[in-house]
């Protein structure tokens, strides 16, 4: 997914109609989640940062296609059933629906854990092979023409968690990794509607103090994940989808708190 989106996003301008449509589509979708031309504190543009983050996911250190990213060599991806974070409480002290979380930057390297317990089952997200593979299937599955949870495979969670890793996000930011951005309401920006709202209104107390409110989307993991999901299926289906009408981020049955209440850490 990431490789296909990145290829379209970074393609050179071309007279080839198909290639040109792909690039324009990737840029249009990028603008739904980020402010591509905006610079933060005199640094790179948001588009440049997004390209760096996605590149770190799929390319080896030399930044050229081929063998894939070396970060997976030393990374652990496993079941976090017995891990404390899978039993985290929400702000009200009630058990939360943590579907996955990342531990990065310690002496043990990077680990991504999927929680699978009586409150959450991330493996109810479909594999990519269980989603449309051509435009005809897209018309049947995404018949309302809107961005929705129906586009999100299990890989959506992995993309979200990868943006938390220092190997992926430390280099472009030169500082703290990508987090789960808190909006002005103190709600994490999860889900297709909330991440788009974060792009439109990124400010909260932390950034208002620095006057650098444009940081919002590029420091939010779910913004990257939903950008890739929408861009991938826009390219695959050869369709530019309408704005989401729901913030549901998971199929029914994934999270006990509700399909719009899943937590990714």
Per residue in 62-74, pLDDT tens? 555 555 666 676 6
Q: Binning pLDDT at 50, 70 and 90, where does residue 151 land? A: very high
From its phi and psi, is residue 113 left (phi > 0), alpha (psi between -120 and 50) or beta?
beta
Q: Are the C-beta atoms of 56 and 163 separated by less than 8 Å?
A: no
Listed in sequence order, the residues at least 6 apart from 14 whose beta carbon sits closer than 8 Å to its beta carbon are 20, 23
Residue 32's φ and ψ, nearest 5 degrees, are -75, -20
**Per-residue pLDDT, 224:** 95
Q: Binning pLDDT at 50, 70 and 90, where does residue 30 land? A: very high
**Per-residue pLDDT, 235:** 96
Lowest mean pLDDT among 83-92, 171-180, 190-199, 238-247: 171-180
Neighbours of 234 (CB within 10 A): 23
Average pLDDT over residues 118-133: 89
Lowest mean pLDDT among 70-74, 102-106, 204-208, 212-216: 204-208
DSSP 163: H
Euclidean distance between CA atoms 108 and 28, whole angstroms: 39
Question: Does 171 have pLDDT greater than 60?
Answer: no
Question: Does 117 have pLDDT greater than 80?
Answer: no
Tokens of residue 6, six digits: 């990145």
**Per-residue pLDDT, 110:** 79
pTM: 0.87
Calculate what percentage of the chain has a pLDDT beyond 70.
74
**Between helices 154-164 and 166-173, what is the axis angle to 10°?**
50
Which residue stretches of 116-214 are H helix?
Answer: 135-141, 154-164, 166-173, 192-200, 205-208
Question: Does 225 have pLDDT greater than 70?
Answer: yes
Query: How high is the mean pLDDT of the chain?
Result: 80
- Write the CA distances from 90 to 126, 188, 263, integer angstroms: 26, 11, 9
Question: Does 114 have pLDDT greater than 70?
Answer: yes
**Per-residue pLDDT, 190:** 85
Which residue stretches of 34-65 are H helix?
Answer: 46-58
Tokens of residue 128, six digits: 């990519």
Q: Binning pLDDT at 50, 70 and 90, where does residue 208 land? A: very low
Question: Does 243 have pLDDT greater than 70?
Answer: yes
Instruction: Please tell me which residue, 157 or 115, carries the higher pLDDT value.
Output: 157
Domains in the chain: how many in total?
1
DSSP 123: G
Question: Does 215 have pLDDT greater than 90?
Answer: no
**Per-residue pLDDT, 14:** 79
Question: Does 206 have pLDDT greater than 50?
Answer: no
Domain of 182, in residue numbers: 2-264
- Write the CA distances from 263 to 15, 191, 242, 243, 253, integer angstroms: 43, 10, 25, 22, 14
């Amino acid at each position: 997914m990431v490789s296909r989106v990145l290829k379209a996003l970074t393609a050179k301008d071309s007279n080839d109609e198909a290639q040109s449509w792909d690039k324009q589509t990737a840029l249009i979708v990028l603008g739904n989640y980020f402010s591509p031309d905006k610079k933060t504190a005199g640094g790179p543009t948001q588009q440049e940062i997004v390209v760096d983050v996605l590149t770190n996911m799929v390319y080896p250190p030399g930044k050229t296609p081929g063998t894939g990213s070396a970060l997976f060599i030393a990374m652990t991806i496993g079941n976090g059933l017995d891990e404390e974070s899978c039993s985290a409480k929400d702000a009200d002290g009630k058990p939360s629906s943590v579907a996955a979380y990342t531990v990065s930057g310690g002496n043990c390297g990077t680990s991504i854990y999927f929680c699978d317990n009586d409150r959450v089952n991330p493996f109810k997200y479909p594999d990519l092979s269980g989603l449309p593979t051509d435009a005809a299937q897209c018309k049947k599955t995404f018949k309302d023409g809107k961005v929705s949870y129906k586009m999100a495979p299990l890989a959506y969670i992995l993309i979200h968690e990868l943006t938390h890793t220092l190997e992926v996000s430390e280099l472009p930011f030169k500082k703290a990794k990508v987090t789960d951005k808190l909006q002005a309401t103190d709600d994490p920006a999860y889900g297709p509607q909330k991440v788009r709202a974060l792009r439109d209104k990124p400010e909260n107390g932390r950034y208002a103090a620095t006057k650098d409110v444009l940081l919002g989307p590029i420091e939010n993991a779910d913004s990257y994940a939903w950008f890739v999901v929408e861009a991938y299926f826009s390219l695959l289906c050869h369709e530019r989808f309408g704005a989401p009408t729901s913030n549901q981020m998971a199929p029914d049955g994934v999270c006990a708190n509700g399909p719009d209440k899943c937590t990714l850490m």
